[in-house]
Each structure stands twice: as structure tokens, then as C-alpha cells.
Amino acid sequence: MRKTLIYCMLTGLFYSALSGESSLPIPPLLEGEEITLTVQQGTLALPFGDSDTLGYNGDYLGPTLRFSEGDSFNVLVDNTLNEDTTVHWHGMHIPAEFDGGPRQVVSAGGTWNPRFTIRQDAATLWYHPHLMGKTAEQVYRGLAGLIYIEDEFSRSLNIPREYGVNDIPLVLQDRRIDRDGRFRFAPAMADIMHGYTGNALLVNGAYKPELEIAGGTVRFRILNGSNSSIYRVRFSDGRKFTVIASDGGFLPETVSTDNLVLTSGERYEILVDLEKNEKVSLLTDIYGSDTHTAMTVDTDRSRPVLYEHPGRLRPFSIPGEETPAETRTFLMQTMGMMGFAINGKSMSMDRIDETIRLDTTEHWIVENRRTGMMAFPHSFHVHDVQFRILSLNGEAPPPLLSGPKDTILLYPGDTYRLALRFRDYEGIYMYHCHFLEHEDSGMMGQFEIIP
Ligand code: C2O
Ligand code: CU
């Protein structure tokens, strides 16, 4: 393997002139009633060197778990680490005791077995640790995986659905490769403020991999699995693609675009048409940083199987969204060096910040006010629900933000109005900024759903 590492004295970053030599890893697919996730230590070999990592059932990242609506979810988490962890099922409508937030610690050497019935629409979700103060580090070291939910509607659509063949998961993450060719989690104060941005972009744990595939229509399910980066994803030739789903499922109407912005934790599903025998790269611009070639897609000479891109998909509204039982405001605040808060408060496990009645619909106003020099983007994620964006800065949301969502990006000055419906389960859940360094610094709160 040819390695060309150039150490840049100015930035202290490594750049690699390596072109993609590995093929895109596809995480194993796990289905069925008895799934075990073993949390373990591992090693990830990249062209720069080997890093010490964590993974589920492997060295880095974890399997894709696939369920249908109505299935029972029954996953045994076996923590073989000598540190505590949790496993949070991001985007799932789930009983509070199985949410996997900071309240459900799986101790070092311990096990945990969440079990419930899946009651939500088809979507691409994901799982990752959520241990108080340790989320950023454990995710960074490799703990994350995807969850697919299918339902009657998703099965009725004529879209690519063959896992790893024409339905391809893409977990995008940036990692900071040190002088010694490894990545490790060691943020300085500025990294906590601005996010721990890396100099290498990984897709499914590989650096600039190549995806060799038959031409035709391909469905990509894209997760921004980074700690705190905002990505703009696009193709090197500027080609258009069709967006069919956002965080919590299908869009009411598909959107044709040539680029997509995702903050950490957000997902989109896209359809893209590839000719035979062509080569195109997927690029990722990191907000405030560089543009990376995430991977290259290489099609063979076989005859491409093209699918018609759908137009209208599934309408989305929240019951009672016009007449909220309660309206709450959440101010996302940068308080000065190292400090982050929501409504002036830093996360405390001993405090319930909001109390909500079961079976009600609420409006949540989420604001990232521009205050002096402390203007940072933030994001906002709510556990247990998929919400609808009623407005962004007073206007109807753009089509890409009109479907089911659980995570939103707030640039300085942004205000969202959300409609949320709390159904089925009582108990304590989290809301927080999904920039993991911010979350770990206290930018999180708890809500309790009561009868
Ligand atoms: Cu993806 Cu509360 O997390
Ligand atoms: Cu934040």
C-alpha cells in the first residue's frame, strides 16, 4: 500500500494523498427476535495507522438492526468494556425505561435487555451511547449503528430495498488523525466550543472507500454520525438526486436537489441514478472546515436497473397540532467559555425540567439567539417522538424539513416552532443539543410524561 503522508506544520494536521483503496464496508444486517449487541474494544486500521476503538459485535461501529412495525424489539446489550455505557435508540418511540439515555446505565461487565413492541413508521434510525458526560468520547471511539424500521407502506413502494446491493447505508464521520496516524478523543477547550472537527472523513469506518456497484437507481441512507460537525453532502459532478425520507420517515413529497445539509444525528434517504461504467465521488463539506471526498462510486458495465422516483409519499401531520395543550420555549445558550445551557440551566439528573401530560400535543419554540460574539450553531434533539416543524423563522418549513424529524439544526438567529405529540408511554426522557461536546457540557434537559 502506497502511503503519502504530508505533515503540515501550520495546521498540525495530516493530509493523505492516498486514493481510495478499500471497498466500502457494509455493516452486517441483524434481524429477528434475539439480537445481541456486544460492546467491545477493537482496533481500526486506516491508511494512516491503527487506532484503538470501540464497536458493537466488531472493532468499529455496529450491525444494522432491521425491524418491522409491530415487531417485538428484544436486544441484549452485553457490555464487555471495563467502563459503563448506555445504548440509546435515537429516533425510536420507546418506553422510557428502555430509552437508553443517561438514566439506563449498563455497567462495566453488565448486561441490559430492552423489550417492547415497535409502534412507529418506517424510518432510518440509529443507536449510540448516551452516558452522562461520556457520550462524545464513546461515540467518537466507534460506538454507533443503524436501525431500519419497515412497514406496510415502505414495502408497498417501488424503490430499491436490497440491503448492501441497491439500498446502501452511509455513516459519515470525521476523525482527527494525529501525528502518529491514530485518532483519539482529546478535545481542547476550543474543540468543545466549536466541536471536535477532524481532518479525515470516514464512511462506515473506512477512509475514501470505493463502492463498486451495478448502475441504476441506488438508495443511500445517510447518517451524519459525527460528534459535532455540520455536513453538506453532494456529488462531484453536481448531479441531482431525490430525497425521499428525513429522520423519522418518508417525506410528504420528495425533493430534487444537488446537495443536502445534515447536522450530527440527522438522517436522509436519497435515490440517485447511476449510468453504467461511470465514476462519481460523494463529497462532504464540513461547515467551518474543508471539503472531503467521502467515497467514490464505480459502476460496472451491466445494464442499469432504473426506478421511477416517487413524487408524493406519505402525508405528515401531528394530531391536534393547531391547538396545543401547552407552549414551551427552549433557549439554546452559549454562556461564555465552556458553558452551554438550555433556558439558563445546565443538565442535572436530579431535576425534571418539563412535565408533560400523556396524550397531549404541545408546541415547542426552540431558539438560538444571536447574542454578542458567542454565535454558535446548535442543534436540538428530542427523545421518544418524531415532531413536525410548523415554522422556521416565521415561515413555513422548506420541503426537506416537512417530514418527521427528531433533530434540527439551528444557526445563530434561528427560531423553530415544533408540534410534538406525547403518546403511549410515561416516564423521563431527554432533549438536548446533539453536538456531543455541547451535550456532555450540560446542554441537555429532562422531560417527564405523566398521566
Ligand atoms: Cu442521538 Cu439523546 O441522542
Ligand atoms: Cu450546541
Ligand nearest to the CA of 430: 1
- The answer to whether residue 217 scores a pLDDT higher than 50 is yes
Question: What is residue 404's DSSP assignment?
Answer: -
Residue 430 CA, closest ligand 1 atom number:
2
CA 46 to ligand 1 centroid distance, Å: 27
Quote the pLDDT of residue 177: 97
Angle at 105 between CA 88 and CA 68, to 5 degrees: 30
Rounded to the nearest angstrom, the distance between the alpha carbon of 197 and the centre of ligand 2 is 14
Cβ within 8 Å of residue 316, ≥6 positions away: 249, 251, 252, 388, 402, 403, 404
Which of the four pLDDT bands, split at 50, 70 and 90, describes residue 6?
Answer: very low
Residue 154: what are its φ and ψ, rounded to 5°?
-65, -35
Q: What is the mean pLDDT of residues 112-124?
A: 98
Percent of the chain with pLDDT over 90: 90
Joined together, the cell numbers standing for residue 14 give: 495530516
The total of other beta-carbon atoms located within 10 Å of residue 113's CB is 12
The amino acid that residue 328 corresponds to is R
Q: With the CA atoms of 19, 160, 173 and 144 taken in that order, what torsion angle do they form, in degrees rounded to the nearest 10?
A: -130
Buried b or exposed e, range 287-321, using 16+ CB within 10 angstroms = beeeebbbbbbbbeeeebeebebbeebbebebeeb
Under DSSP, the state recorded for 312 is B
Nearest ligand atom owner, CA of 91: 1
Q: Is the pLDDT of residue 2 over 50?
A: no
Question: Considering only CA atoms, which residue is closest to atom 3 of ligand 1?
Answer: 90
Q: What is the pLDDT of residues 221-242, one digit of tens each?
A: 999 999 999 999 999 999 999 9
Instruction: Tell me the pLDDT tens digit for each residue of 271-325.
Output: 999 999 999 999 999 999 999 999 999 999 888 999 999 999 999 999 999 999 9
| Closest atom of ligand 1 relative to the 439 alpha carbon | 2
- Give the pLDDT confidence score for residue 338 in this predicted structure: 59
What are the pLDDT digits (tens) for 61-103? 999 999 999 999 999 999 999 999 999 999 999 999 999 999 9
The pLDDT of residue 337 is 66
Give me ligand 1 centre to Cα 420, in Å.
Answer: 17
Q: What is the mean pLDDT of residues 111-122?
A: 98
Nearest residue CA, atom 1 of ligand 1? 90
The SS3 assignment for 20 reads: coil
Q: What does the pLDDT read at residue 317?
A: 97
Share the mean pLDDT of the chain: 94
Residue whose C-alpha cell reads 428484544 in the numeric block: 74
Q: How confident is the model at residue 339 (pLDDT cuts 50, 70, 90)?
A: confident
- The pTM (predicted TM-score) of the whole model is 0.95
CA 343–ligand 2 middle distance (angstroms): 13
Tell which atom from ligand 1 comes closest to the C-alpha of 128. Answer: 1
pLDDT of residue 372: 64
Q: Residue 183 and residue 175: Cα distance in Å, rounded?
A: 6
Judged on CB neighbours under 10 Å (0-12, 13-18, 19+), 34 is exposed
Using the Cα atoms of residue 378, residue 386, residue 267 and residue 172 in order, give the sign of their dihedral. positive
What confidence score (pLDDT) does residue 371 get? Answer: 74
Residue pLDDT, tens place only, 404-435: 999 999 999 999 999 999 999 999 999 999 99
Return the pLDDT at 16: 40
CB contact burial 333-357 (16+ within 10 A = b; e otherwise): bbeeeeebbbeeebbeeeeebbebe
Is the pLDDT at 220 greater than 90, yes or no?
Answer: yes
Q: How many helices (H) and strands (E) does the chain have?
A: 4, 34
Structure confidence at residue 299 (pLDDT): 96
CA 379 to centroid of ligand 2, rounded, Å: 6
Q: In ligand 1, which atom is closest to the CA atom of 407?
A: 1
Distance between CA atoms of residues 390 and 402, nearest Å: 8
User: Among 14-23, 34-43, 381-390, 434-443, which is the least confidently predicted range?
Assistant: 14-23
Residue 211's CB is within 10 A of a number of other CB atoms, namely 20
CA of 428 relative to ligand 1 center, distance in Å: 14
Residues with CB under 6 A from ligand 1: 88, 90, 128, 130, 265, 381, 383, 430, 432, 434
Strands (E), 97-205: 111-112, 115-117, 123-128, 145-150, 167-175, 200-203
The string of pLDDT tens digits covering residues 153-202 is: 999 999 999 999 999 999 999 999 999 999 999 999 889 888 899 999 99
